[in-house]
Amino acid sequence: MKKILCSLLLVLICTVLITGCKANVSKTNPASAPADGAETTDTVPTLDEVISGTWSLYAGFDQSGGMIYISSEDTEYSFAFDADNAFSGVYRQSDGYVDATFTGTYDVTNSKAAYKNPYDWYYYATLEKDSIADIGEATLLGRLGEQGLHLIFKFRELDGEKLLYEENQRLYFKRHRI
């Protein structure tokens, strides 16, 4: 009987301590408790806020996984997403090795079903093959390799900001600020 009473007393003490800790956290961190009984809502950015706009090459990785910065005046690799799922871009090198413009679409349907926050989505960009106008010794399709006409983008943090990362080519892109 003593063991049962000791166990009940121990449970009661733990419950009081846990309840007291939760109450103190709510008092010290007003953001954790709703004001005046109001429901808390997380502000989730819209698609336009996170993906729409023009993005330019910022950094890339070499074959061994070491990061190299390849953004320069001699190379232009940029693209734009708009809210109507249109995708367009340009890839040029001053030596004429690759000179391509392209358009296509991107689709977030599958990602929307899995995640509420667009920063957590994968963006699938399908390029229209007929829209690519290559000039030079190498082609955009050749540069994309086995992955062909599909690019997969997601957000990753680099140098203290969220940049768009293209997985197939291991490239980071930064949004132009107007």
For residues 22 and 59, the model is more confident at 59
Distance CA 165, CA 31 (A): 32
- Average pLDDT, integer, range 51-62: 90
Distance CA 55, CA 45 (A): 18
Domain boundaries, the chain: 2-37, 48-175
- Average pLDDT, integer, range 45-63: 88
The structure's pTM equals: 0.69
Pick among 3.40.50.300, 2.70.70.10, 2.40.128.280, 3.10.20.30: CATH of 48-175 = 2.40.128.280
